[in-house]
Amino acid sequence: MTQPKPIQSSDRLVATWLLICCALVFVMVVLGGVTRLTGSGLSMVDWRPLMGWLPPLTDIEWQRVFELYQSSPEFQKVNSHMDVHAFKSIFWLEYLHRLLGRTIGIVFLVPFIVFLAKGYIRKSEWAKYLLMFVLGGLQGVLGWYMVKSGLVDVPQVSQYRLTAHLVAAFAIYAYMFWVAMSLLFPSIGANKHPWYPRALALTVLTSVTIVSGGFVAGLKAGKIYNTFPMMGEHWLPPGLLALEPAWRNFFDNMATVQLDHRILAITTLIATVSFWFFARRADVPGRMRPALTALLHTVLLQVILGITTLLLMVPIALGAAHQAVAMLLFTISLYILHSLKRNS
């Protein structure tokens, strides 16, 4: 096992900046979940990436924004009872979600420029950080592409676009987190520990489970079969392959999507407990051991939250907590994976 290199103060500063950006993305994902759960995501029917910093400040401006919303399918088919005061309650969450996205862009860009000027980021790594910024900008475009799907006929965003938006957020988060860990835990070489393939498989399984959760959220599939472990009176509910072609059932059929998520969640639980049980007795890097305990506790909490959220028909607080803990579990998996790849 190689000896770790000393951490330069500039690397520590850059890593801290990246972890702050990660924390903001974490909050962004959770806030996005709350926005969806409260039915606020379609309240802003236009997108002004440069001029949309300020909310409506006068009654006239509020009325203008409300009239735009009145032309949307959601108002006409779901919220036609709303007046401008009720509209404000759903507008503010979506506004804060978009504002936080813009804030993340500023929090990333300004220190990035400063670090470049001071030479804290080596020229050979400029492209790595520029890619982070570009991906963040594209994520904003993808978010608007998602919202547009709910502004046409059916007042509900496409589950495909919602899941793509979620996956992109996790990917950007993972990229920044990994780079930050590499700055904080440098090593001579990058020899992979023998346990690395198992940790990679567990991280992939966790990620696939999160993706399946995106389809559950997009279809609002948590609103049906609110029993556990059986789905109503069935282990396998009827109509699992009702759609043609058959592959559509795994993405468009509410019952099938919920069953997939259940199976993946239980599989992730079993795999994580097994990983913890055997890894704690193995010769693994010292910094990984506390993360193993956190991994076990977090997966147990996540399963409990998932079942409770289902049984109670997805209350907002539990739904948001379930999404937050999913991201926490993903983070711990990444940390463990990094500790095994760098093997320092």
As a whole number of angstroms, the distance between CA 50 and CA 257 comes to 37
- Number of domains making up the chain: 2
**160 and 263 within one domain:** no
Burial readout 326-339 (b: 16 or more C-beta within 10 A, e: otherwise): bbbbbbbbbbbbbb
Rounded to an integer, the average pLDDT of 256-276 is 98
**275 and 171 within one domain:** no
Strand partners, 4: 187
Angle, vertex CA 258, rays to CA 252 and CA 261, nearest 5: 110
Other beta carbons within 10 Å of 239: 11
pLDDT of 188 strictly over 80:
no
pLDDT of 271 strictly over 90:
yes
pLDDT of 1 strictly over 80:
no
Cβ(264)–Cβ(271) under 8 Å?
A: no
**147 and 264 within one domain:** no
Full domain range(s) for residue 309: 190-344
pLDDT of 342 strictly over 70:
no
DSSP 150: T
As a whole number of angstroms, the distance between CA 140 and CA 226 comes to 34
pLDDT of 3 strictly over 70:
no
**200 and 138 within one domain:** no
**153 and 43 within one domain:** yes
Task: Give the pLDDT score at 190.
Answer: 60
Last residue of a domain, one of 139, 173, 189: 189
Cβ(337)–Cβ(180) under 8 Å?
A: no
Task: Give the pLDDT score at 5.
Answer: 54
Rounded to an integer, the average pLDDT of 80-87 is 94
**pLDDT tens for each residue of 113-168:** 999 999 999 888 999 999 999 999 999 999 999 999 998 888 899 999 999 999 99
Prediction pTM value: 0.94
As a whole number of angstroms, the distance between CA 222 and CA 258 comes to 7
Confidence of residue 184 (pLDDT cuts 50, 70, 90): very high
10 Å CB burial of residue 211 (0-12, 13-18, 19+) is: middle
Other beta carbons within 10 Å of 142: 17
Cα-to-chain-centroid distance, residue 231: 27
pLDDT of 51 strictly over 70:
no
Task: Give the pLDDT score at 153.
Answer: 86
**33 and 150 within one domain:** yes
Task: Give the pLDDT score at 53.
Answer: 82
**205 and 77 within one domain:** no
Last residue of a domain, one of 189, 217, 232: 189
**141 and 131 within one domain:** yes
**243 and 98 within one domain:** no
Nearest to 75 by CA among 30, 40, 29: 40
| φ, ψ at 315 (rounded to 5°) | -65, 150
Task: Give the pLDDT score at 7.
Answer: 64
**pLDDT tens for each residue of 216-241:** 999 999 999 999 999 999 999 999 99
Largest CA distance in the chain: 67
Other beta carbons within 10 Å of 14: 22
Q: Mean of the per-residue pLDDT values for the chain? A: 93
Q: Give the count of alpha carbons within 13 A of 110, CB side only.
A: 7
Last residue of a domain, one of 137, 166, 189: 189
Strand stretches in 87-134, DSSP E: none
pLDDT of 11 strictly over 50:
yes
Cis amide leading into 245 (omega within 30): yes
**256 and 134 within one domain:** no
**180 and 82 within one domain:** yes
Contact partners, residue 291, CB within 8 Å, separation at least 6: 332, 335, 336, 339
**104 and 251 within one domain:** no
